[in-house]
Amino acid sequence: MMFVVGTAAVLLALVLAVAAALRGPTVFDRLLAGNTIGTLAILLLAVFGFWAGRPEWLDIALTYGFLNLIGTLAVLKFFRHGDLAYDVEEDGAIDSEASS
């Protein structure tokens, strides 16, 4: 019974996070909502895995969590620099900051 209530609560939060992602006025609001959706998906995998008697789903949830973190950092780098291949050392930004 406890896992059913937990699953229902996570699903409700997931619906609210999707609504926030669709409604978000800025890109960063949508990115935050997307990250929240990823976190709730991890929780849903963990709760449902224990509810179904398959706790090994927690490994899948942890892997998805790492992918969620890497994806969020990649999107933030893209919006900051406009290119995922941007290298600070090639731009010389470190040398100009150190000399000033």
Give 35-54 pLDDT, tens digit per residue. Answer: 999 999 999 999 888 888 89
Flag whether the pTM goes above 0.85. no
Rounded to the nearest 5 percent, the helix, strand and coil shares of the chain are 85, 0, 15
Q: CB neighbours (10 Å) of residue 62?
A: 13
Q: 68-99, pLDDT tens digit by residue?
A: 999 988 888 888 888 878 777 776 655 555 55
Total domains in the chain come to 1
Reduced to 3 states (helix: H, G, I; strand: E, B; else coil), residue 57 is helix
**Domain limits at 46?**
2-99
